[in-house]
Amino acid sequence: MAEDIMNLMDTIEYGFLDEFGNNIVNNTKKWDDEFYDFYYLLSPDELLEKKCGVCWDQVELERTLFEEKNFKVKTYFICTYDGDNLPSHTFLTYEKNNSFYWFEHSWNTYKGIHQYTSEKELLKDVKNKFINSNITSKEAFTFIYEYQKPPFHISCKKYYEYCETQKLIKLNEPLYFYHIVDRKADLSKGLLSLKYMYDHKLFDLFDKNILKYKDRIVNDWNIEKYKNKHSLTREEFMDALNIFRGEYGASYIYFFRFPLYKELGKKIEDLLKVKDIYRININDEEIQKNIKDIFYGYDESNSDNKILDKEYYENITEKEYFKKYDDSLVMNFSKLNHISIAFKDDYCLIEFLEKM
Nearest by Cα to 267 from 337, 339, 325: 325
Asked if residue 157 and residue 228 are part of one domain, the reply reads no
Domain co-membership, 111 together with 60: yes
What pLDDT is stored for residue 303 in this prediction?
66
Phi, psi of 326 (to 5 degrees): -130, 105
**By CB neighbour count within 10 A (0-12 exposed, 13-18 middle, 19+ buried), where does 237 fall?**
buried
Q: Does residue 101 share a domain with residue 62?
A: yes
- Distance of alpha carbon 235 from alpha carbon 259, whole angstroms: 33
Q: What is the pLDDT of residue 25?
A: 77
What CA–CA distance (Å, rounded) separates 297 from 303?
Answer: 11
pLDDT band of 31, cuts 50, 70, 90: low
Q: Do 196 and 90 share a domain, yes or no?
A: no
* Residue-wise pLDDT tens digits, 135-157: 777 778 999 999 999 999 999 99
Q: What is the pLDDT of residue 226?
A: 82
Residue 314 structural domain: 176-355
Q: Indicate if 101 and 129 belong to the same structural domain.
A: yes
Residues 204, 322: one domain? yes
Does residue 289 share a domain with residue 268?
yes
Q: Give the pLDDT confidence of 172-228 residue by residue, as tens digits.
A: 999 999 999 999 888 999 999 999 999 999 999 999 989 888 888 888 888 888 888
Considering the domain architecture, whether residues 92 and 196 belong to the same structural domain is answered as no
Question: How much of the chain, in percent, has pLDDT values that exceed 70?
Answer: 99
What band does 37 get if pLDDT is binned at 50, 70 and 90?
confident
CA angle 334, 340, 345 (to 5 degrees): 145
For residues 280-303, average pLDDT: 90
pLDDT at residue 331 greater than cutoff 90: no
Per residue in 119-137, pLDDT (tens digit) is 999 999 999 999 999 877 7
CA 75, distance to chain mean position in Å, is 21
Is-contact 134 80, C-beta < 8 A? Answer: yes
Instruction: Tell me, yes or no, whether 59 and 156 share the same domain.
Output: yes
State the chain's mean pLDDT as an integer: 91
Q: ∠ CA(171), CA(61), CA(2), 5° rounding?
A: 75
Write 165-171 long-range contacts (CB < 8 A, 24+): 166/77, 168/143, 168/144, 168/285, 168/286, 168/289, 169/76, 169/123, 169/143, 169/144, 169/145, 169/285, 170/284, 170/285, 170/286, 171/120, 171/123, 171/124, 171/127, 171/144, 171/285
- In angstroms, the CA 344 to CA 137 distance is 19
pLDDT at 54: 94
CA distance 169 to 145: 6
